[in-house]
Amino acid sequence: MDRRAFLTSAASVAMAASAGCLGTQASGEDKTPTEDRAVDIVDVQLIHEGEGADTEVRAEITAEAVADQTLGEVVATATFVDGETLLGSWVAVVNGMEPGQRWLVSIRSGGTSGEDAAAVDDVQVVVEERSPASTLGSDRIEIVDEDLIAEDGEARVEGVARNAGEERLEYATVVVTFASEDGVLLGQALTDTTRDIDVGQQFEFSVRYSAPVRAADAVADYQLTTEADIEK
């Protein structure tokens, strides 16, 4: 998982699983939908890579939006397990899943390697919608120009945005999720943040694809949202 991932406690995962979240819980091949779910887990693979001290472990998850409406922020949480011991939980985030759309994401157990990674024998996964689509995007940011660039074995989205509000912005974030030709979202949402933007001022953004689930040449499309906060 890339450095935008963050560690969360196993207690938080248990709380999410018991709070009637709009998602699905899974351990290995056992996938249990929660009531009134928004997302189904289609597949979970526990993958060990490398040998000896270089061994690492990750979960590769396929989820599908089953709600009738576009989803907001969707969070996948993977808790890695060694026997009866929970080793910690890591998350990935995606925005704006459309009805029927799939999300393919890889979550690595950060900080777990070597013998510890080799000993991981299960992963517990929760995928849930944390916030509705109405919370996505900011009317304070206007996208002036955007382009998907694929070259030299890489894919990235570059563009120009503008502070379209009436107040100076403390920060503006452009959030990009890459997608394949068949509409599958690849990896997690990636961001480019610019700070201290005056009213009417333009700023550039560039977000590079870095998901391990498919090669960069599989990227054919992307979804873009924005976030902003006014200067206090």
Residue ranges per structural domain of the chain: 7-134, 137-230
∠ CA 174-180-185 to the nearest 5 degrees? 55
- Tell me the mean pLDDT in the region 22-34: 47
Q: Is the pLDDT of residue 5 over 90?
A: no
**Which tokens is 148 given?**
């998907």
**Per-residue model confidence (pLDDT) at position 134:** 84
pLDDT tens by residue, 134-149:
888 888 999 999 999 9
- Tell me the mean pLDDT in the region 108-117: 83
pTM, to two decimals:
0.78
Q: Are 61 and 104 in contact (CB under 8 A)?
A: yes
Q: Are 219 and 150 in contact (CB under 8 A)?
A: yes
**Per-residue model confidence (pLDDT) at position 31:** 47
Q: Is the pLDDT of residue 46 over 90?
A: yes
What confidence category does residue 111 fall into, taking pLDDT thresholds of 50, 70 and 90? confident
**Per-residue model confidence (pLDDT) at position 36:** 61
Fold designation for 7-134: Immunoglobulin-like (2.60.40)
**Per-residue model confidence (pLDDT) at position 98:** 92
Residue at 142: amino acid letter: E
Which CATH architecture is the domain 137-230 placed in? Sandwich (2.60)
The secondary structure of residue 34, as a DSSP letter, is P
Q: Are 207 and 192 in contact (CB under 8 A)?
A: yes
Q: Is the pLDDT of residue 79 over 50?
A: yes
Q: Which long-range contacts (CB under 8 A, 24 or more apart) does 141-149 make?
A: 141/165, 141/169, 141/172, 141/174, 141/226, 141/228, 143/174, 143/224, 143/226, 144/202, 146/224, 148/219, 148/221, 148/222
Phi, psi of 72 (to 5 degrees): -90, -120
Q: Are 169 and 197 in contact (CB under 8 A)?
A: yes
Identical topology for domains 7-134 and 137-230:
yes
Closest CA to 175 of 137, 145, 139: 137
pLDDT tens by residue, 169-214:
998 999 999 999 999 999 888 888 999 999 999 999 999 998 878 8
- Tell me the mean pLDDT in the region 32-46: 78
The secondary structure of residue 118, as a DSSP letter, is H
